[in-house]
Amino acid sequence: MRHGSTWSVLVACSVLALVGCGGADAPPEPAAGDTPRDTTTAAADPTAGEALDALIDRYLDDYFQSQPPAATRAGIRGHDHRLQPLREADFEARADRLRGFLDELSAIAPKSLANRDLVVDHELLRRHASVQLAEIERFPRWRREPGMYMPFNAFNDLVVGRFAPAEQRAEWLTQRLRALPESLDAARENLRNPPERFTRDAINTADNLRRYFEQAVPAFADELADEADPDALRSAATTAAEAMVEFGTFLENDLLPRSDGAIAAGEDMYRFYLREIHGVEVSPAELLELGQRYYDQTLALLEAQAEEIDPDSTWVEITERIRDNHPEKDDLRAAYCREIWRARDHVIEHGLASVPPGEEVRCIDSDPAQRAFSPFGTFRSPAPFDEDRTGYLILHPVPEGLSPEREEEILRAHDLSWIQVIAPHEAYPGHHLQAILAQQNERPLRKVYSTPVFGEGWGLYTEELMWEHGFFDPEPETRLTQLRLRLWRSARVLLDAGLHTGELDFDDARDFLAENIRMEYGSTAGEVNIYAYRPSYAIGYVVGFYEMMRLRADYRAQAGDDFDLGAFHDRVLRLGSMPFGLVRDLIGLPRPEDDALPTDLPED
């Protein structure tokens, strides 16, 4: 998943690929002036493009220098031994550099650039740097999120990654573990008054990370040859575990009593995120109104599907029966893998997208020490800068020693209809395929910039796409599950925007999920945390789905008889994860008036 997001929502994130390589179905490229956002000019200056490319290279070098764990996850080597510098002076220096990059960028006029790719990269760089700067100064996460000082993925990526020999990864991991106390000291200096929820979450994270250092890291060390110095790794892990105990005490005794900050980002900041990350030009109030429309439309489809299956039962009652049909405990991982590979075959057979050679998805069990960090597991897409094309479904097996009732409860969460919906979303033609097409991208900024409106919108779109092309079996019941999951994603617009504009509080959002989506109440806290920690991220699923459906309809209308669905998918995936207005600019489609979001699904 993108950003390594947990499989509690089965999100996968990574994107981006080669721009402008549309197939035979592509509408003719418009002449200058033919679209609302024409990006060619007769007065182009060749040196302006060179200056922009050089600026992007320097910007990305600085970005990965400032964010070493992000470099590891992206497949950029050279920073794997370091953690993010987190002192106040580090953030101040980073802010100064970001302002400098933005000043340099403003000196390059978009009209001086020779082609659409350069103009789009100019805009993406402005957006990316602006958000980075805002999260240092305007909405400083480093003042309010204790969890950012305990970067689980920075360590786990080196344990489970396959991008370097184990001995080399162990050396890097040792150095990162030794750097952890410095990060925790920075947290003590930087944190002011986080939301109480954030501090309580951090207390749990500190304990989970302690156990990870005590269990998973020594297990990794046991696999190393003596010449790899496993004792150094064990010693560093012990010191890190002790540091987590001390930090947990600080969180509980010092930070928690002063943790009275608000979760809400506020209306102004939320609107900034909508505009700069997603390219969504609406107010939070307008988004809430639109989100209600999406929710109502999806609920109507869900209820109609339930009526078709059994007129005497509600969708909730039918769902309970559907959940009875689940894999056996020992067949759980294999059941996911079967559906993933069936989805791959279906994509190829129906020509829904290109599947490059040399790729695969492997299904593996998670390490026991990793299971506290996500309720189901994770999906790891190939890194955008890496040549490897292997994705991993990392699944938590059903624990041993449970009561039959608890075991059945867990398995019902993995019913076969759920697996049939999730396999396309995560793998084919979803995030795995998205990632491996992205690796073909020749423009480095497109491998870094990402908006969930495109990335997660694509994932939700693939669920509908596979239903359209007959993947679900049995179709009526799996279609109901698909619509139920879309209702959940529609609710996210209401809850995410409501939480960050003060319309709802944390418990209101939990209650809504339990009462209307019928989510198990114990799972709702993790779901609402997604909204709390990542303002506006969760709207990307259903907003992006509606945008993708409209994009496809408009593209088909313009291409006419030459429309090829698979070539369309290849083309848009190779553009990168960007706001849909920029996607339209690159493929020669007019933008909607005022960049308005769609209100309904197209009838095609």
395-407 pLDDT per residue, tens: 999 999 999 999 9
* pLDDT for res 603: 86
Mean pLDDT confidence for 478-487: 98
Spatial separation of the C-alpha atoms in residues 210 and 82, rounded to whole Å: 19
Give DSSP secondary structure letters for 318-335: HHHHHTT----GGGHHHH
Q: Residue 387: count other Cβ atoms within 10 Å of its Cβ.
A: 10
pLDDT classification of 371: cutoffs 50, 70, 90:
confident
DSSP bridge partners of 380? 392
What is the end-to-end Cα distance of the chain in Å, rounded? 30
Instruction: Return mean pLDDT, the chain.
Output: 91
Angle at 428 between CA 535 and CA 375, to 5 degrees: 50
pLDDT at residue 339 is higher than 70: yes
Digit-coded pLDDT (tens) for 44-66? 888 999 999 999 999 999 999 99
pLDDT at 367: 78
pLDDT interval class at 560 (50, 70, 90) = very high
Structure pTM?
0.91
Distance CA 327, CA 166 (A): 34
Average pLDDT of the segment spanning 92-106: 98
Give DSSP secondary structure letters for 171-238.
Answer: HHHHHHHHHHHHHHHHHHHH-----HHHHHHHHHHHHHHHHHHHHHHHHHHHTS-GGG-HHHHHHHHH
DSSP 146: G
Run of H or E residues at 360: strand 360-365
Between CA 33 and CA 110 the distance in angstroms is 15
Whole-number pLDDT of residue 285: 96
C-alpha 468: how far from its chain's center? 25
Structure letter (DSSP) for residue 6: B
Mean pLDDT within 97-126: 97
Three-class DSSP category at 364: strand
**What is the chain's length?**
604
Instruction: Name the residue among 115, 127, 111 with its Cα closest to residue 446.
Output: 127
Average pLDDT of the segment spanning 556-578? 96
Task: Note the pLDDT of residue 182.
Answer: 98
The strand pairing partners of 391, in sequence order, are 361
Report pLDDT digits (tens) over 439-453: 888 999 999 999 999
Written as one letter, the residue type at 486 is: R
The percentage of the chain sitting over the pLDDT mark of 70, rounded to a whole number, equals 92
What are all long-range contacts of 44-50, with beta carbons under 8 Å and residues at least 24 apart? 44/111, 44/112, 44/113, 44/114, 44/115, 45/112, 45/113, 45/114, 46/114, 48/108, 48/109, 48/112, 48/113, 48/114, 48/118, 49/113, 49/114, 49/115, 49/118
Q: Which of the four pLDDT bands, split at 50, 70 and 90, describes residue 25?
A: very low
Task: Round to whole Å and give the CA distance between 82 and 178.
Answer: 10
135-166: pLDDT as tens digits: 999 999 999 999 999 999 999 999 999 899 99
Partnered with residue 361 across adjacent β-strands are: 391
pLDDT at 438 over 90: no
Instruction: Answer yes or no: is pLDDT of 28 > 60.
Output: no
Cβ burial 224-258 (10 Å sphere, 16+ → b, else e): beeebbbebbbebbeebbebbeebbebbeeebbee
Q: In the structure, how many helices (H) and strands (E) does the chain have? A: 23, 3
**Cα dihedral angle (253, 259, 260, 265), rounded to 10 degrees?**
-170
The alpha carbons of the chain give a radius of gyration, in whole angstroms, of: 24
